[in-house]
Amino acid sequence: MNYVFFEPIQDISANLAGEESKEQFLADLSVRLSKLAAELGVGIVTIGHTNDDGAVKYCRMIEQRASVVVELLRDKMSEDPDERNTTKLLVTKNRPVGPTGFAGQLKFNPETFVLEQKYAEF
């Protein structure tokens, strides 16, 4: 399968004025991308930044149209360097009826700049 990545998808709306314009643009784009993915048989991976409340910035439709949502959790302020460099993966949506929950951990290796699978409990 081929994939198209948008990181972060909100950057596409950067030149639009006002949050309402960005929200409408991103909502329309999300609908079009989901239809395009089905028509072309490709996977579309969108990275959406979140606000302080944990919601996707500017447009909830990005998450609503997604088939799978994976949240990345990391304690950037931890005093423990191992914890600070570990990202936890949490599947919060898996349509139509796939499993959700803890999906693993990745540890950043500062020497190689590579994420490596970390085998440990959540």
Each residue's pLDDT tens digit, 56-95 = 888 888 998 899 999 999 999 999 999 999 999 999 999 8
Q: Are strands 43-46 and 3-6 parallel, antiparallel or unpaired?
A: parallel
pLDDT at 40 over 80: yes
Helix (H) or strand (E) holding 107: strand 101-109
Residue 82: count other Cβ atoms within 10 Å of its Cβ: 10
Helix (H) or strand (E) holding 43: strand 43-46
Residue 43 contacts by C-beta under 8 Å, 6 or more apart in sequence? 1, 2, 3, 4, 37
pLDDT at 52 over 80: yes
CA-closest candidate to residue 4, choices 33, 44, 38: 44
Compare 48 and 16 and report the one with higher pLDDT.
Answer: 48
Confidence at 97, pLDDT banded by 50, 70, 90: confident
pLDDT of residue 120: 62
